[in-house]
């Protein structure tokens, strides 16, 4: 498609894109500065960590911070591999289960008719306003009442219901034409078949975006290991890294904290890079009807 001799959204590079690149390049550089700083900070030697004025870029990169971090972990009673296993197990179960629940609930709230539908939608929207600190005490009372403290369920159960993921998926399902679903019902498909064969393939970008949001929340979560789990063998990598860095509050501990921050940041960056196209598609279609 062309307009006044210019291609609209060309598939390959076009000279008309130069002005757009020039306009957004400062914003890209500004948004990328925190990432660059985290990476550089983790490889700074001790004299650069405490240099004044502070240095943004590392001059003499070193692996000493990581070496000290791993040496401190080997001196601990429980190996780091145990915390890594706990985090992977919890994140895998939470992401899969939460996506299943969110997509099913999103389909029901968007396309099915039942009594109390609007009430459930309003409850989910109200839940978006509450931060984690506001529900900490009710969450603790619930976990304690269910008797799942010091278990993996204490890590998993609180994260299964993710209001922001449900809201995002429900809004995406709203864009699926009702005529397409009605045609499937006429052909004899049931609710589950419509959900599995029509809804899921059409909302993959929203599912990928929700997966990243859930992953980020669970990956850096400290509250569960702090308040609901006393057994060190059941705590997560985020808690361990935070404890290891805080336990060494001396000068050497600052380098370990920088290395730990980079280790915790890398999985989030990798997830975003792998699923960035799906995220952009979700944002682009979120306002369409």
* Per-domain residue ranges of the chain: 2-62, 70-285
Number of H helices, E strands in the chain: 15, 2
What are 35-72's pLDDT values in tens digits?
Answer: 888 888 888 888 887 777 878 888 888 888 888 888 87
Q: Tell me the C-alpha distance between 222 and 235, whole Å.
A: 9
Closest residue by Cα to residue 223 from 161, 155, 143:
155
**Residue labelled with tokens 């429980």:** 78
All residues at 6 or more sequence positions from 229 whose CB lies less than 8 Å from its CB, including other chains: 149, 150, 151, 154, 155, 235
Cα dihedral value 126, 172, 159, 244, nearest 10: -110
Return the number of other C-beta atoms located less than 10 Å from residue 261's C-beta: 16
* pLDDT tens, position by position, 181-216: 889 888 888 888 999 989 998 888 889 889 988 998
CATH class of 70-285: mainly alpha
Q: Helix or strand or coil: residue 105?
A: helix
pTM of the model as a whole: 0.80
Mean pLDDT of 238-253: 71
Return the number of other C-beta atoms located less than 10 Å from residue 196's C-beta. 14
């Amino acid at each position: 498609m062309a307009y006044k001799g210019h291609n609209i959204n060309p598939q390959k590079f076009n000279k008309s894109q130069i002005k757009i690149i020039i306009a957004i390049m400062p914003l890209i550089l500004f948004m990328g500065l925190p990432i660059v700083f985290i990476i550089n900070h983790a490889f700074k030697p001790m004299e650069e960590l405490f240099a004044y004025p502070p240095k943004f870029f590392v001059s003499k990169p070193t692996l000493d911070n990581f070496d000290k971090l791993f040496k401190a972990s080997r001196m601990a009673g429980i190996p780091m591999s145990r915390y890594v296993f706990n985090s992977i197990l919890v994140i895998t179960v939470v992401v899969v289960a939460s996506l299943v629940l969110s997509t099913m609930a999103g389909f029901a709230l968007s396309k099915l008719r039942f009594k109390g539908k609007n009430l459930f939608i309003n409850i989910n929207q109200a839940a978006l306003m509450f931060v984690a600190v506001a529900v900490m005490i009710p969450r603790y009372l619930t976990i304690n009442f269910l008797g799942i403290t010091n278990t993996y369920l204490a890590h998993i159960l609180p994260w299964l219901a993710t209001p922001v993921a449900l809201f995002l998926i429900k809004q995406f399902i709203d864009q699926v034409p009702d005529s397409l679903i009605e045609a499937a019902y006429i052909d004899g498909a049931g609710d589950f078949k419509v959900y599995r064969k029509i809804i899921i393939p059409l909302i993959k970008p929203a599912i990928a975006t929700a997966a990243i949001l859930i992953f980020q929340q669970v990956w850096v979560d400290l509250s569960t290991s702090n308040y609901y789990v006393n057994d060190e063998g059941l705590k997560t990598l985020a808690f361990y890294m935070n404890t290891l860095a805080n336990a060494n509050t001396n000068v050497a501990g600052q380098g370990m904290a920088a290395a730990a921050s980079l280790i915790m940041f890398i999985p989030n960056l990798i997830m975003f890079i792998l699923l960035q196209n799906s995220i952009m598609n979700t944002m682009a279609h979120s306002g369409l009807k």
